[in-house]
A and B are shown apart, each in its own frame.
Chain A
Amino acid sequence: AQRVTQPEKLLSVFKGAPVELKCNYSYSGSPELFWYVQYSRQRLQLLLRHISRESIKGFTADLNKGETSFHLKKPFAQEEDSAMYYCALTYAGGTSYGKLTFGQGTILTVHP
């Protein structure tokens, strides 16, 4: 069964500092990994997905199949990045395609 682990429940950094939110997964097949974000009083929304290899709001994430990781990184954190971040996994093919397995989430706080 697939599993997603986010080892840090809380992460605090100062504005302008680099930030890395860790995500590790376990799945024997070919997973698709995503980062979802929930800002205060807003809905859960997709931030980025590994297949698009894009940078959103300055964030990037690289899928490392050898280490089964998908860490989210940003070189210079901004106060507006403060939010709850969830790493999520799904797998291609099968009748349950699209079924997301979420990690426990990491609350990022960026101090001024």
Chain B
Amino acid sequence: EAGVAQSPRYKIIEKRQSVAFWCNPISGHATLYWYQQILGQGPKLLIQFQNNGVVDDSQLPKDRFSAERLKGVDSTLKIQPAKLEDSAVYLCASSFYGSSYEQYFGPGTRLTVT
């Protein structure tokens, strides 16, 4: 089966600019996650979707980060405006409903904010 797709793979922007990441989960996976992984740390969950509804966004910096999954399939994560500390790898993952611990990860988008 095709894996989780993410684009772009790399992005370099200046602080205060905006950026958007796209994720296409594995077909049939109802649950979608966005993680932020800062260099030297483990992934940190930003937001979890169940179909097109938000299940958990407690760690999403809502003043600058937003995410949507309008049709319950693809998802976009946006940062506006970006800060230097947003430099990280952004990982998208998906899983079947009811099997949320077996998450399948995409390749990630490496964001550098200068």
Contact = CB atoms under 8 A, between A and B. Distances in A.
B43 interface: yes
Contact of B3 (A9, A43, A49, A103): A43
Given A32-B101, A44-B105, A103 B42 contact: yes
Interface string A18-62: 000000000000001010000000011110010000000000000
A105 B41 CA distance: 7
Interface of A: 4, 9, 32, 34, 43-46, 49, 86, 88, 90, 95-105
A44 B43 contact: yes
Contacts of B25: none
Contacts of A32: 101
B82 interface: no
A71 to B, nearest CB: 17
Q: Among B103, B107, B108, which residue has the most Cβ atoms of chain A within 10 A?
A: B103
19 contacts: A43-B4, A43-B106, A44-B43, A44-B93, A46-B101, A46-B102, A49-B102, A86-B43, A88-B42, A90-B101, A95-B55, A96-B48, A98-B101, A99-B48, A99-B56, A100-B101, A102-B43, A102-B44, A104-B42
